[in-house]
Amino acid sequence: EIVLTQSPGTLSLSPGERATLSCRASQSVSSSYLAWYQQKPGQVPRLLIYDASSRDTGIPDRFSGSGSGTDFTLTISRLEPEDFAVYYCQLYGTSLTFGGGTKVEIK
């Protein structure tokens, strides 16, 4: 079973700064079947990115995804106050696995 490792565990940044979140797979992921979700306290996760780099409907273009194989990245170009949350990557296709999450907190 493929394991997804997210880093860092916590990212402390200020509004307006760029956030770079990493998701590494223990084996190569075929067809870039990787998604990113945002979860705020007390809320259900929200789908941001699927197929590694496609933004879901209504997701601002400051969110972008990239990567292939074993290394994937979620980038938030300029953090808005509402972007401080926990972010999860998720593998789909033949396997369903979540990463452990990265918390983006206000510095």
Considering beta carbons, is residue 33 or 70 the nearer one to another protein? 33
Half-sphere exposure of residue 77, counting CA atoms within 13 Å on the CB side? Answer: 7
Considering beta carbons, is residue 16 or 54 the nearer one to another protein? 54
Distance between CA atoms of residues 100 and 51, nearest Å: 19
Handedness of CA 91, 32, 55, 107 (dihedral sign): positive
Considering beta carbons, is residue 17 or 56 the nearer one to another protein? 56
Per CB under 8 A, residues contacting another protein are: 1, 33, 35, 37, 39, 44-45, 47, 50-51, 56, 88, 90, 92-93, 96-101
